[in-house]
Structures are given as structure tokens and as C-alpha cells.
């Protein structure tokens, strides 16, 4: 009889995603439908329940995300080891040569701070932020995904170099449009938005606008000038009377309490300029709110650190850093 290979665990589709729930009391696990995988999953986590709202499984428990990740590691240990070897061979055959990339037990990305780079690396499966070394680490199994986005990462890194930032600032100051740019920046710092006086958003709750998810705090009834709307807020419909409303960024607690919209905004919502946040809107806003909260905790921790102590004395959970969210993407090897 021909020799048969040992059966391998099957992971459907492209990936399995595991993330900590917003309240920290469980884990959210999502993957495409696969009867065999669901059977093994429910056997391992009998308390897991399906959520129609999120289209994902919820596993209760403060350590649920770690327990699910350990289970997934067992499911995919052989596939991941093979994928790492294949990625290491691909790198050895055709490496990425860059001053911003180092190869060791994994691929280390070390660049100046850039939001573009952070967003690019967050899209790469298994990429993670190393808070001790302050670098991004990418396992070899994700080499092809890193290569696909490397041009954007390297270009953003060069633009983020201090000397390049200084050069652009000097060029901007000599630009004939510098005064207009300063005026627009001053307008944006006022944290106000124009809305039709007959279609004002609800005050005091998170809503999605052209600025993102914000909380409208009120309005003094001042009419918005049409020229100011056209220059500073070009996406706003300018017909009819508009008034200025003031806004602030929502807190993480406010974003956790609100339910997402069941459907995407329609053309009327987009013309109006505000709508109930979708699940994608809330995920992005919560990530931003967590970053703001960490930054505030870092500032307090540093202010309370006695002179002479190093940054290592600051609790790791309160350091201001751009981390990858607690999300694992499992990609078949």
C-alpha cells in the first residue's frame, strides 16, 4: 500500500483571528465556517458561544485569548514550522537588502516613527511590536507579506528620518502657500465641524463623521461661512445653512458601550455628514483610544518616577508605544 501522510489540522480560508474582547473578560475568535474545526473548537472550549452581532465566537475568561492562541499553536505547529522554513529559504534566495531590516531568528524592522509604517506592519500576519527593543518583529513565515509592502515601508521610513523632516519643514516655510496652510491648520485645531442646521448629529454620543468617530459636545449656533467650508472641509455639502458644532475624541469606555450599526451608511448619511458607527469604525476608534489611554498613563508614570530611575522602572503596560493589537492571524503554511 502507498504510504499516506499524517493528517494535518485544517484551517479554513485565509486566517483565524483572535483578539481580546473590549471589556477584557474574554476572547473574540473568528474564522470561516468549517464543521471539523468548529467541532474541535467547541470540544476544547465548551463555554464558547456564537454572536450574531459580531459574526464571531466569544470565549469567556480573563485569559481566554491566551488559551485560544495556545490551542491554535497546537493545531498549526507543523504548518507554522514548515512555513517558517519556507520563508527562511525564500529570504536566503532573494533577500530584502535595506538598512531598516535585520535578519536573525526572525526579521527585525527598525525605523523612525511613522504611522504609515505602523499601519503597513499591522496588516502583516504575525508581525508584533517588541516593547523592550522598540522594533517590529516579523517571523519568516510572513516574509512574502512583508516583501509585498516593503516598498511603502522603506519609503515612509526615509521620509520619517529627522533630516528629511527638517528639509521638508524648511521647504514648506519658503512656499507661497505657507500662510494658507497655517490658516487651515489653525482651523482644524479649533475642533469644530459644519453641519446643516436642520440635521445636527446627537450630542454626547460617539458618531462617525468625515473626521472619524467623534463625540459632538454642542454648538453655539454660529453660522459656518461657505468659504471656510469649501477650503477646510471640502467633503461637506455646502447647500443650505450650516452651523459650527464642537467635538472631542471619545473615550475607550464610551466606545465600548456603543453598539455598531447593522448596515453601512447610505448616500443620505454620507451627504448629511454623520452616521451610526459601523463595526470597522469602532475597531479603528477603539485602537486609537487605547493608544491615547496608554500615552496618558505613560505621562503620569514618568512624572511619578523618582529622579535617577530608568525608563525600565515604568510599568510596561503604561509605556507610550505603538503596539500591535492583541490579535493573532493564523495563516496556513
- The pTM of this model reads 0.51
Q: Name the residue among 328, 331, 325 with its Cα closest to residue 69.
A: 328
- pLDDT tens, the chain, 333 aa long: 333 333 333 443 346 778 887 777 888 888 777 777 788 888 889 999 888 877 888 999 888 888 888 887 777 676 677 888 899 999 999 999 999 999 988 999 999 999 999 999 998 988 888 888 889 999 999 999 999 999 999 999 999 999 998 998 888 888 887 877 888 888 888 889 899 888 899 999 999 998 899 999 999 888 888 877 877 777 777 677 888 999 999 999 999 898 999 899 998 888 888 999 999 999 999 988 888 888 888 888 878 777 666 554 454 444 434 444 334 444 333
**Most distant CA atoms of the chain, gap in Å:** 85
Q: Name the residue among 123, 121, 126, 125 with its Cα closest to residue 109.
A: 121
Query: Which three three-digit cell numbers place residue 261?
Result: 450599526
Check if CATH label 3.30.70 holds for domain 96-174: yes
Q: Could you tell me the residue ranges of all domains in the chain? A: 8-94+325-333, 96-174, 189-277
Amino acid at each position: 500500500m502507498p504510504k499516506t501522510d499524517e493528517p494535518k489540522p485544517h484551517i479554513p480560508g485565509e486566517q483565524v483571528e483572535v483578539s481580546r474582547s473590549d471589556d477584557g473578560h474574554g476572547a473574540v475568535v473568528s474564522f470561516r465556517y468549517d464543521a471539523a474545526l468548529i467541532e474541535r473548537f467547541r470540544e476544547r472550549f465548551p463555554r464558547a458561544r456564537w454572536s450574531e452581532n459580531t459574526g464571531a465566537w466569544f470565549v469567556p475568561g480573563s485569559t481566554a485569548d491566551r488559551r485560544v492562541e495556545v490551542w491554535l499553536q497546537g493545531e498549526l505547529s507543523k504548518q507554522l514550522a514548515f512555513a517558517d522554513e519556507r520563508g527562511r529559504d525564500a529570504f536566503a534566495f532573494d533577500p530584502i537588502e535595506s538598512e531598516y531590516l535585520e535578519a536573525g531568528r526572525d526579521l527585525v524592522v527598525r525605523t523612525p516613527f511613522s504611522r504609515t509604517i505602523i499601519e503597513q506592519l499591522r496588516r502583516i500576519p504575525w508581525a508584533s511590536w517588541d516593547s523592550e527593543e522598540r522594533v517590529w518583529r516579523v517571523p519568516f513565515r510572513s516574509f512574502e507579506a512583508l516583501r509585498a509592502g516593503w516598498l511603502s515601508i522603506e519609503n515612509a521610513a526615509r521620509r520619517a528620518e529627522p533630516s528629511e523632516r527638517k528639509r521638508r519643514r524648511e521647504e514648506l516655510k519658503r512656499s507661497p502657500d505657507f500662510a494658507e496652510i497655517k490658516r487651515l491648520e489653525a482651523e482644524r485645531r479649533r475642533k469644530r465641524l459644519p453641519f446643516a442646521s436642520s440635521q445636527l448629529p446627537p450630542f454626547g454620543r460617539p458618531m462617525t463623521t468625515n473626521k472619524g468617530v467623534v463625540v459632538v459636545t454642542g454648538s453655539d449656533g454660529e453660522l459656518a461661512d461657505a468659504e471656510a467650508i469649501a477650503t477646510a472641509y471640502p467633503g461637506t455639502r455646502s447647500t443650505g445653512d450650516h452651523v459650527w458644532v464642537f467635538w472631542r475624541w471619545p473615550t475607550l469606555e464610551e466606545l465600548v458601550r456603543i453598539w455598531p450599526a447593522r448596515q453601512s451608511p447610505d448616500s443620505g448619511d454620507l451627504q448629511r455628514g454623520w452616521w451610526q458607527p459601523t463595526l470597522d469604525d469602532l475597531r479603528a476608534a477603539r485602537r486609537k483610544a487605547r493608544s491615547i489611554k496608554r500615552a496618558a498613563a505613560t505621562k503620569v508614570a514618568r512624572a511619578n518616577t523618582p529622579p535617577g530611575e530608568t525608563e525600565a522602572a515604568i510599568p510596561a503596560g503604561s509605556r507610550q508605544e505603538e503596539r500591535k493589537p492583541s490579535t493573532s492571524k493564523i495563516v496556513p503554511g
